[in-house]
Amino acid sequence: MEEEVIRLGSSLVLTEEEEMGVVMPAGVWHSDPEKAGFYTVGCLLSHKPYNAEAFKTVLRSSLNPAKGMEITFLEHNRFLLKFFHSVDRDRVLESGPWAFEKSLLVLAAVSDTDNPAEVDLTWCDFHIRIHGLPLGKMTTEIASFIAAKIGRLKDCDSSKGPLSWGSFMRLRVAIDVTKPLPRVLKIRTVLGDEHTVTFTYKRLPNFCYLCGKLGHISKWCDSRFQSEFVDPGENSPYGPWLRAVGRGDSRTRFPQTREPQTQPPLARPRFTSRSHRTPAFPSELIRGSAIFGVFSQPAASTNEPPMSPRTHPQSHSTP
């Protein structure tokens, strides 16, 4: 509703009196000190409704700002995050992408002079791996060129050379979330050489295996409702192979499929008592050992009966 009102207000034909406007005094046109902070506007890229209170709880726990955070819901599936320190906001923006119930959270930094309803939320930063480049071509210049063809380059780890990168390069690139995820890029040189590079994404949330777009999965894709649609089955143009796996992915925010165990688990020791959790060993191994803090004593040289190992000497009452 707010966006519609703003759009109508900017498209109206103004009268002469409305065109003149007013002059705001310098002492009046200032920011509210109570609203000072470090803001981020965002939206949840999902077609499914969600519980607002659960969203707040999970978001606070996941972002975990050291100096606190306020969450305000806006119209058109937007929300506003107010951080009380720039370190918290910068860490959240640099540690993405974030997700709620496997759906992508698109975040953008704003100032207190911006209108949250007008902020562009079509770009999201992803950590991308570039596969297929020759070892000698893993340079910062080539990485910047490739990133510019699929999005906007945000960061490139230029401190690591080809031997540190290994079989792929690592970049942080802003991707247009309204378009299909880039899968491959063909590179042709002036000498006629051709190389095909493939992209994988770290912490990639739900996306469609049919159209490659974020925000929905295959069974809700619009292409299924077209008359000429043919289900590709296992031959979908997109798939889980777009998710980067391997070393350094332990921080992923999405559940991973566990590999089946090749060996049976080790047998757990049996216990005779839940309260004391005493292992059940053979009785011949108990003699001379400590049981509940009391040592068993050998029988005296006299004809006195041996003392029970479960009876403390001081616990006898005097007749």
**Would you say residue 275 has pLDDT above 80?**
no
What integer pLDDT is reported at residue 306 of this predicted model? Answer: 53
Phi-psi region of 102 (alpha: psi -120 to 50; beta: other; left: phi over 0): left
**Cα separation of 131 and 168, whole Å?**
5
Provide the pLDDT confidence category of residue 189 given band limits of 50, 70 and 90. Answer: confident
The CATH class that applies to domain 35-116 reads: alpha beta
197 and 225 Cβ atoms separated by less than 8 Å:
no
First to last CA, the chain: 91
> pLDDT tens digits, residue range 84-93?
999 999 999 9
254 and 205 Cβ atoms separated by less than 8 Å:
yes
**Would you say residue 13 has pLDDT above 80?**
no
Query: Collapsing DSSP states into helix, strand and coil, what is residue 255?
Result: coil
Region 150-155: mean pLDDT is 91
Provide the pLDDT confidence category of residue 179 given band limits of 50, 70 and 90. Answer: very high
Q: Classify burial at 208, counting beta carbons within 10 Å of its beta carbon; exposed 0-12, middle 13-18, buried 19 or more.
A: buried
Place of tokens 């050379």: 161
In the chain, residues under CATH classification 3.30.70.330 are 35-116
Region 221-247: mean pLDDT is 88
